[in-house]
Structure formats: C-alpha cells, structure tokens
Chain A
C-alpha cells in the first residue's frame, strides 16, 4: 500500500509556486519568512492531510494565513496609521528583475489586497475562482471580479511602463 509522498516531494513540486505567490502578495522583503512559515506549518500538519486532498490549494490556504500574519506584524512595527484590510500595500523598495519585470511587480504591489490575492492565486497558483473564494472568503463571482479589476489595472499601468520604456 502506498500512502502519502515524502514531504520532500511536496516541497520540490510546490516550493517555487508558493514562493512566487508569497512574493506577489507580500513583496520580496517578507516573502522568505512567509514561505518558511508556510512549509513548516504544512509539514507539521502533513500526516493529518486527507488522502487525495488538493495539496497546492492546501499550501496556498496556509500561505494566505501566514501572509496575513506577516502583514499584521509589519503593521504593528510601522508608525500607527488607520489600517483596513483592503488597503493597498506600498510598493516594495527593491523589486527584483529588470525594469519591465520590476514594473509589473510594482504594479501588482499597488493593487488592493483582494485584487492582488485573486490575481496571485489564480494566475500564479492556477487555482479556480471557487477554491480562491474558499480561501479568502466571498463568492467565486466576487473573486472573479477582483481578479478582472486587478488585471485591468495591471494592463493599464504595466503597458504604460513598457510603452514608455520602448518609446521614451
């Protein structure tokens, strides 16, 4: 009888996707901590994960909670200002990649949280809207709309950036 794969195989298979998601949702500075917390927590709970569960959706669910923890901890450290969950995070100071990729990373960073999550979980983790709704709350339709709004904003800002770059 063959049961669960060794956890090493889970890290090998999903490590990169979870890192991308953490980077998109939190920015490069806090992504490492969120990734580490996510996989440590997942490893602790792994023996109890039901057979046949969607491992990627499970990992993104954990990463989502860890990202909220990291964001709250950062907010506590920061100068106290009124914070609502949908506030856009400030753009990261040091975006990775060249100008073009940095432009997109900055544009994602400026999205409101719900849109950023919808875009990251759908386009980077490949989760269907219904699964994302189960993670972030709300309905599949609200998530779909958040993703569409996010993408529309990205198209606008990101294509302006690339346009400026090509034709200064």
Chain B
C-alpha cells in the first residue's frame, strides 16, 4: 500500500460528497446570517437578458451584474471593496429575485427594495438616485439626467454614472439614451439595453 494508495483509500473511507457539502454549506450560510457575519450574500437568477448576479449586504441590494461583467470578477471586487465574508446564500435575495421575475414578466413597473448605495459616491450617486424618476417605458437624455442631478453641464459625467451603475435594471439607467435616439453605453451591452426598453414599451 503506497502513500498515494493509502490517501486514495482514506478518501474513500472518509468521503466528502457534494450532496453533504451542499447541505453543510446551507447550514453555514444560515448560521453566518444569524451571527451577523454574512457581510455579502449572493445568488444568480436567470432572466431574458442572461444570468444576473444579485448581491446584498445587511443594508440591502448592493450589486446587480450581467454575465458580460464576469461574475467571479464582480465577486472579487465586492470582496475587495466591501468584505471578503461572502457566501452564496439565496435567502437574502428572495425578494429581489421575485421582483425581477415579475419585472421581466411585465407584471412590475417599479422596484420596492432596500438598496445599499455604497458602491457609488458623489455626483454619480446623485445621478443614479434620480433615475427612478424616469417612469417605466419612458426615456430621458443624458443632458436631462445631468439637469435632474443638479449639474446641467455635467452631461459626460452623467453618462459615465449611468454606464457604471452598480444596480442595473433595478436602478433604470437603461432608460437614459442620447438625445438623437442612440442607446448609449450599457454594462449589459446594447442588446440588453434595447431588450429592456422593448419589454417596457410592450407591456
């Protein structure tokens, strides 16, 4: 019995089956939530614009990310900027997931969720906080959004704020377009932006 064979036999005698690990993981997520050490919980949901990563702190939804942003890179950025105490823990995202489902089904026109704005600051945050004022199915120009945020000259900065929105879909940066009708930059890509606008005008 060589050392490798011994290791192999021991691994068979003391298994670490995926089913057991899933059960233990769920138990860990519950205990971490109970003890207040689950700084960021996340899950992914399917949507007509591809899988979306949803992440929430104790304060509220902090990040929605498109697959094109690379979900593992987004999680690493959350670890760097908020806390590395991050677990896949679907329970905290149940309400956001349900509201997104309703939105994509055309049954919901606005989101009623606690949001954690900590990933955006200053003028960008001011811009984003005004976006829910653009009604469902409506659009506004970057210039109009700059005006709403209190700085009519900062059109480019308003465009950057929309293009780097940490909470796309829920904070409707997709409703901001160029005055000539072009869609403009979007984290999820131009197709996703058009898909959301089409969904909202069809419903």
The chain A residues found within 8 Å of chain B, CB to CB, are 1-8, 11, 15-17, 19-21, 23-24, 32, 35-36, 39-40, 43-44, 46-47, 95-97, 101-102, 104-105, 108, 119-120, 123-124, 151, 154-155, 158-159
Contact = CB atoms under 8 A, between A and B. Distances in A.
25 contacts: A2-B80, A5-B76, A5-B79, A6-B75, A6-B86, A7-B86, A7-B87, A8-B42, A8-B75, A8-B86, A19-B14, A19-B24, A20-B14, A23-B14, A40-B28, A40-B35, A96-B14, A96-B15, A97-B15, A104-B10, A105-B13, A108-B14, A120-B10, A123-B6, A159-B1
Interface string B28-61: 1001100101001010000000000000000000
B11 A4 contact: no
Contact of B21 (A16, A40, A95): A16
B39 to A, nearest CB: 9
Interface of B: 1, 3, 6-7, 9-16, 20-21, 24-25, 27-28, 31-32, 35, 37, 40, 42, 75-76, 78-80, 83-88
A6 B79 contact: yes
A151 B14 CA distance: 16
Contacts, number: 117
Nearest to B7: A123
B197 to A, nearest CB: 33
A8 B16 contact: no
Contact of B84 (A4, A24, A96, A104): A4
A43 B85 contact: yes
Contact of A8 (B7, B13, B20, B88): B88
Contacts of B25: 11, 15
B21 A19 contact: yes
B2 to A, nearest CB: 11
A7 B75 CA distance: 10
A40 B85 contact: no
A24 B14 contact: yes
A105 B12 CA distance: 9
Nearest to A44: B37
Given A96-B14, A97-B13, 16 more contacts: A6-B76, A7-B84, A15-B16, A15-B24, A17-B16, A19-B14, A19-B16, A20-B14, A39-B24, A97-B12, A97-B15, A101-B12, A101-B13, A102-B13, A158-B9, A159-B1
A124 B1 contact: no
A39 B35 CA distance: 13
Contacts of B21: 15-16, 19
